[in-house]
Structure 1
Amino acid sequence: MKKTKGFKSEKIIVLPAYQLEQITAHPLNRNLYVTDIGFFPRARNHYRERPQGCDTCILIYCAEGAGRVVINGIEHEVMERQLIVLPADTPHAYWTDTEHPWTIYWFHFKGDQAADYATLLKGGASPLTLSAVDSEKFITLFHQCFDLLSGGAYSPAHQVLAMQTAAYALSTLGLIPEREDEDRRKQSIETAIHLMKMKLEESLTLDEISQYTQISKQHLNHLFKTSVGFAPIDYYLRLKMQRACQLLDLTALSVKEVCHTLGFKDPYYFSRLFRKIIGLSPTDYRNKLKG
């Protein structure tokens, strides 16, 4: 039996038209305002389908259990501690898992910048996964917004605070995709550096690093310059010079032997590069007192 509501201990507020008129009359609410908000715990048989979509964006956060969301014909599995945003005017359907019914926090939102907030949260794309801290913070803000709308929604000041709380919740969640992108950038750089360290005694080209990391040369250059401060090959050469310093400090290898050990064929080029990066010739570096 499919149900759109009527779950034990559920909470729902649907703001009436006259109240929405009051809310949107205030300039601070026009960018973003909530029209419906609710909480469905262990919502067995929950199902909702809108073939034409609706005129609001919809946020669904699954705190427990699991469910499915279809947006424009593309199905997404939504698991525990995952959130998804459905853009306005987009055909969609969503339903709970049969064996593990979801517990969801949801609200509908509109406003001049509603679409921008939806885009911030990858609206229409794959779900976002919240950390335990993100989850706790979102649920706290959700309850604050719900309580404001249920207890003091007739006060303009309370309405503004409720809508600003919802905007703050969305803005906070907007940091998650940014953190995910940062994690991917970090992983790509670490993968490239791992290859460089494995090949310190050989030679590497940008093409080989690009192929190993499966990132284009242009994007790889951009990642390194913005995150590390050097182009990939420049960074690779600095790793080689760092290793050269270790060999000069800890072994009796000659400068020429160190040069060949690190994959350089021309000792004069090696010495010039060493001086450029380290600031001393290899011989002067070795003779310098340390410690």
Structure 2
Amino acid sequence: MDTIKKQDGFMSQKLIVLPEHILAEYASHPLIRSLYITDIGYFPQAMHHYRERPEGSPSYIIMYCIAGEGWVRLNQNKLHQMHKGSIIVIPANTPHAYGSTESHPWTIYWFHMRGENAPAFFEGIDSFTASSQVSVEKSTQIIELFHESYELLEKGYSLNHIIYVSQLACHLAALIRFSQQQPKVPKSRQNKHDIEESLQYMSAHIEQQVTLQELAEQAKLSVPHYSMLFKDATGYSPIDYFLRLKIQRACQYLDLTNQSIKEISLQLSFQDPYYFSRIFKKIIGKSPSAYRDTRKG
């Protein structure tokens, strides 16, 4: 049973709860069943907003705070403070409570989602059980996805509308998952670093040789710390990732130019074409010449 301290709405709020019979009718559709929105809302300056679900919700609840402050408690455990830029995913069937502060009431966008792929999107990532920050770029995307979903649902619950909104839900879930998987870096200016900057640096130097020490210095981090953060973010060591970027570029040269394999290897700073071919086959699964002969498009 839900406990709500504020029964009426909030000025300029947006709220849609899809009827259960609509969800039951459409939820098995192959383009919907993977992930779909059941409820969607926007509460601006939601003073006294409070909700408690002792039994949890059958849906995953995504809450994104763009102003003000609030809190979320899961399983009677630690309180997670929410403030501007904070996002949290409340797992399905998890007892929880949340509310806005009285002194600085929050403004939140929220989504309830279900589907076969919901656990794959939202479970197994520690940061989903604690509020964390969203970048300005990702914030804009989340808000745009909300409005596109909401405005389409406002026009009716047709099958085509629900299919489209389901795909927007997948985009949103992937965006949140990607955002939350980024490593948390100490806030001191000396250690501040965004892995995205390393990726841009690698791309800008793709035809050169770059050492691990150089990458760590560019990131203003020690080699061990940088390597750990980079692998947490990408799943690969920095040099392994850089080699993969080089081979990815080699594929483009093989597809789009008439350069020989030796010329391509030298252009990408592989001094030994045989070593280049071995790395290429290890990553792509076939030799450069076999790759070039493969029909594409």
> TM-score by structure 2 length?
0.62
Q: CA deviation at 1:102?
A: 0.4
Q: Does 1:137 align with 2:147?
A: no
Separation (CA, whole Å) in 2 of partners of 1:163 and 1:80: 27
| Contact preservation (8 Å) 2:128, 2:180 | no
Matches within 5 A, 1:172-191: 172-180=175-183, 190-191=220-221
Do the aligned partners of residues 109 and 5 (structure 1) sit closer, same or farther apart at CA in structure 2, a change above 3 Å counting? farther
Alignment of 1:15-26 (within 5 A): 15-26=18-29
Higher Rg of the two aligned structures = 1
Matched, 1:9 2:35: no
Counterpart among 156, 160, 181 of residue 157 in structure 1: 160
- The yes-or-no answer on 1:227 pairing with 2:257 is no
| Matches of 1:159 and 1:2, distance apart in 2 | 31
User: In the superposition, relative to structure 1, how do residues 122 and 22 fare at CA in structure 2: closer, same or farther (>3 Å)?
Assistant: farther
**What 5-or-longer segments of structure 1 have no aligned partner?**
194-209, 230-291
Q: Does the C-alpha gap of structure 1 residues 219 and 81 become closer, same or farther in structure 2, counting only changes over 3 Å?
A: closer
Aligned residue number for residue 81 of structure 1: 85
2:35 aligned with 1:32: yes
Greater helix percent: which structure?
1
Equivalent pair of 2:125/2:181 in contact (CA under 8 Å): no
Of the three residues 43, 47, 50, the one matched with 1:47 is: 50
Deviations 1:61-90 (A, max 9, x none): 101101000012221001101110000011
> Is the alpha carbon distance of 1:122 and 1:145 closer, same or farther for their aligned partners in structure 2, counting shifts above 3 Å?
farther
Find the aligned partners of 2:46 and 2:71 in 1 and give their Cα distance: 13
In structure 1, C-alpha distance between the alignment counterparts of 2:10 and 2:27, rounded to whole Å: 31
Structural mapping, 1:49-128, within 5 Å: 49-72=52-75, 73-119=77-123, 122=126, 124-128=128-132
Alignment of 1:201-212 (within 5 A): none
Shift of 1:177: 2.5
The answer as to whether partners of 2:67 and 2:84 remain within 8 angstroms in 1 is yes
Identical counterparts, % of pairs: 35
Q: Per-residue displacement from partner, 1:254-286 (whole Å, max 9, x unpaired)?
A: xxxxxxxxxxxxxxxxxxxxxxxxxxxxxxxxx
User: Cα distance, 1:150 vs. partner?
Assistant: 1.5
CA root-mean-square deviation:
3.1
Distance 2:137 2:228 in 1: 32
Aligned residues: 207
Tell me how far apart the structure 2 counterparts of residues 5 and 26 of structure 1 sit (CA, whole Å): 35
One-letter code of the match for 1:192? S
Q: Which runs of 4+ in 1 moved over 6 A?
A: 184-189
For each residue in 1:145-164, what CA deviation from the matched residue of structure 2 results, as whole angstroms up to 9, or x when unmatched?
1111121322x111100111
